[in-house]
């Protein structure tokens, strides 16, 4: 999968790589929440929370600033019916950890109701092994494995409700826990632990204080079970970066250390910031005087690398969907195809009473400060009761524009913030839908019958985040009367700044 460079449209570099040896935070201006990053040789790999969206992307970078998606750990969650029944909102994968040990990559994550899961691969681009259930348990979150240099293995995690931090002995192969665990720390909304060892100290890198307003804490001890000393190493201070915490400590081959963390922005989700780290008396001090930086020199990764972004647009002309796409809950694979009509994504409609209940809604993260998303839909195979088009998912608010089939007629309709708008009857086989998004999360829908003249439908609407995720763009097709009908999407193009 090639990096997406051509769809970034701003002449002024507003975030990420500034092209002059410096970067501006956020380095990844998109909803990659609870990031965990590792370095293997000269490469960096990242995974993030995905909750009810399927599945979990693996990102790659050469310099911690420029990122692309290279793989996916899983495509569905099969351990509970809620992920098939559209009842898993805000559940699913929470705060994964990625590690490299003895030639294999490991990813661990918890789901809040079902347990602790892991997968392994020899190549981070995949294939990844089927998810292995390490422990069937409710109420765990934010796991992290750790293999010590004496051959012992451990796993740390917190509990839903944010704490305490618990350390378990783990089998060397990482497939099971060997005890009930030891509580090593209790703090104010203490979660998201990551375990490291350096200069004889064990470090627990943990966020405290909550998603929107928290801070970054470091615990250290000469024993993995403590007692631990505590230091706050990063907090908002005099900046406008709220809650700079929860992420990964990474050491470069040249000895530089960096910290990748999130900032909760609401509509765009939890975007990724990169902080320099200075070691003082064996404490990792982050940012500048303990506050997050806005502009800073890039990590010295050996050379300058091309500016890249996670992929966005898709012509649907290949054998597989682009790695940027994620299904809302588990997909019904027999009801979508890239081969039934070559060059098109076909979504066969299933009955649903609303967009939030609709199966096979295909989504991707918003990115950047503003953007324009456009798609072409062929309507020749729609059936009575079917709805298909372009939508935004976030909280419970419906925002979409599309075709509604009523009997033998097709009409353009839109819903924004619960207000319904009725457009004209469409008799042409193809229709184009467009959404414009600005930096305040305000969107406006348009339609066209020739892909040249776009007509506004409905008023502007502020997007909504929800279920621990930012708003995202989506292609949908469902039927409010029965199973039946097919929507054929020719392409999807998303330009952003």
Q: How do residues 248-300 score in pLDDT, each as one tens digit?
A: 999 999 999 999 999 999 999 999 999 999 999 999 999 999 999 999 999 99
**Cis amide leading into 121 (omega within 30):** no
Task: Please list the active-site residues.
Answer: 34, 191
Tokens of 177: 């826990």
Q: What integer pLDDT is reported at residue 3 of this predicted model?
A: 44
Q: What integer pLDDT is reported at residue 1 of this predicted model?
A: 41
Q: What integer pLDDT is reported at residue 10 of this predicted model?
A: 53
Rounded Cα gap, residues 248 and 242, in angstroms:
18
Rounded Cα gap, residues 120 and 108, in angstroms:
9
pLDDT category of residue 9 using cuts at 50, 70 and 90: low
Fold of 326-496: Jelly Rolls (2.60.120)
Q: What integer pLDDT is reported at residue 165 of this predicted model?
A: 98
Q: What integer pLDDT is reported at residue 290 of this predicted model?
A: 96
pLDDT at 309 over 50: yes
- The residue extents of the domains of the chain are 16-297, 326-496
**Cis amide leading into 227 (omega within 30):** yes
Closest CA to 390 of 422, 364, 368: 364
pLDDT category of residue 11 using cuts at 50, 70 and 90: low
Q: Are 356 and 392 in contact (CB under 8 A)?
A: no
Rounded Cα gap, residues 246 and 268, in angstroms:
17
Q: What is the mean pLDDT of residues 68-96?
A: 98
Closest CA to 463 of 371, 353, 326, 354: 371
pLDDT category of residue 418 using cuts at 50, 70 and 90: confident
Rounded Cα gap, residues 477 and 381, in angstroms:
12
Q: What is the mean pLDDT of residues 120-143?
A: 98
Q: What integer pLDDT is reported at residue 6 of this predicted model?
A: 52
Q: Percentage of residues in the chain with pLDDT exceeding 70?
A: 98
Q: What integer pLDDT is reported at residue 13 of this predicted model?
A: 83
pLDDT at 310 over 80: yes
Rounded Cα gap, residues 411 and 424, in angstroms:
6
Rounded Cα gap, residues 274 and 160, in angstroms:
27
C-alpha angle 22-27-28 in degrees, rounded to nearest 5: 155
Which residues share a beta bridge with 94?
A: 110
3.30.2090.10, 2.115.10.20, 2.40.10.340, 1.10.1200.10: CATH of 16-297: 2.115.10.20
Rounded Cα gap, residues 231 and 244, in angstroms:
15
Q: What is the mean pLDDT of residues 299-310?
A: 94
Q: Phi/psi at 53 (nearest 5 deg)?
A: -95, 140
pLDDT category of residue 337 using cuts at 50, 70 and 90: very high
Is 197 exposed, middle or buried (CB count within 10 Å of its CB: 0-12, 13-18, 19+)?
middle
Q: What beta strand segments (E) does 292-408 contain?
A: 295-297, 326-328, 336-337, 345-348, 362-365, 371-378, 386-393, 399-406
**Cis amide leading into 389 (omega within 30):** no
pLDDT digits (tens, 9 = 90+) for 99-128: 999 999 999 999 999 999 999 999 999 999
What's the chain's length in residues?
497
pLDDT category of residue 2 using cuts at 50, 70 and 90: very low
Q: Are 128 and 47 in contact (CB under 8 A)?
A: no
The counts of H helices and E strands in the chain are: 0, 39
Q: Half-sphere exposure (CA, 13 Å, Cβ side) for 309? A: 25
pLDDT digits (tens, 9 = 90+) for 442-457: 999 999 999 999 999 9
Q: Phi/psi at 333 (nearest 5 deg)?
A: -65, -25
Q: What integer pLDDT is reported at residue 49 of this predicted model?
A: 98
Sheet hosting strand 36-40, strand order edge to edge = 36-40, 43-47, 57-61, 68-72
């Amino acid at each position: 999968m090639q990096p997406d460079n051509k769809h970034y449209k701003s002449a002024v570099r507003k975030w990420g790589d500034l092209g002059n040896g410096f970067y501006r935070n956020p380095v990844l201006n998109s909803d990659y929440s609870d990031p965990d990053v590792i370095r293997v040789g000269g490469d960096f790999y990242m995974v993030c929370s995905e909750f009810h969206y399927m599945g979990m992307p693996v990102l790659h970078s050469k310099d911690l600033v420029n990122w692309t998606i290279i793989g996916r750990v899983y495509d569905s969650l099969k351990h509970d019916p809620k992920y098939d029944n559209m009842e898993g909102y805000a559940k699913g994968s929470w705060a994964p950890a990625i590690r490299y040990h003895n030639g294999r990559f490991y990813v661990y994550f918890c789901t809040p109701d079902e347990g602790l899961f892991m997968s392994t691969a020899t190549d981070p681009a995949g294939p990844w092994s089927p998810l292995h259930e390490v422990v069937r348990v409710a109420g765990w979150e934010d796991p992290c494995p750790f293999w010590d240099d004496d051959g012992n293995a451990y796993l740390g995690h917190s509990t839903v409700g944010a704490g305490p931090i618990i350390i378990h002995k783990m089998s060397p192969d990482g497939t099971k826990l060997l005890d009930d665990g030891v509580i090593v720390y209790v703090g104010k909304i203490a979660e998201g632990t990551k375990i490291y060892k350096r200069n004889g100290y064990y470090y627990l890198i943990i966020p405290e204080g909550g998603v929107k307003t928290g801070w970054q804490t470091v615990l250290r001890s000469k024993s993995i079970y403590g007692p631990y000393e505590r230091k706050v190493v990063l907090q908002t201070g005099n900046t406008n970066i709220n809650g700079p915490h929860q992420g990964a400590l990474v050491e470069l081959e040249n000895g530089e250390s960096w910290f990748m963390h999130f900032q909760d922005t609401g509509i765009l989700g939890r975007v990724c910031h990169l902080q320099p780290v200075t070691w003082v008396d064996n404490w990792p001090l982050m940012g500048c005087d303990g506050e997050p930086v806005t502009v800073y020199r890039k990590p010295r990764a050996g050379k300058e690398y091309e500016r890249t972004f996670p992929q966005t647009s898709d012509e649907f002309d290949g054998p597989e969907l682009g790695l940027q796409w994620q299904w809302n809950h588990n997909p019904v694979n027999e009801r979508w195809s890239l081969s039934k009509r070559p060059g098109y994504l076909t979504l066969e409609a299933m009955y649903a009473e609303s967009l939030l209940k609709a199966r096979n809604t295909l989504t991707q993260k918003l990115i950047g400060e503003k953007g324009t998303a456009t798609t072409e839909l062929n309507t020749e195979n729609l059936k009575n009761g079917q709805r298909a088009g372009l939508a935004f998912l976030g909280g419970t608010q419906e925002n979409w524009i599309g075709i509604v089939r009523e009997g033998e007629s097709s009409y353009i309709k839109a819903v924004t913030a619960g207000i319904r708008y009725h457009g004209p009857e469409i008799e042409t086989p193809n229709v184009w839908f467009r959404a414009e998004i600005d930096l305040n999360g305000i969107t406006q829908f348009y339609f066209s019958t020739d892909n040249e003249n776009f007509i506004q439908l409905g008023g502007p609407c502020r997007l909504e985040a929800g279920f621990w995720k930012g708003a995202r763009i989506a292609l949908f097709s469902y039927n409010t009367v029965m199973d039946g009908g097919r929507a054929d999407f020719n392409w999807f193009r998303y330009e952003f700044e």
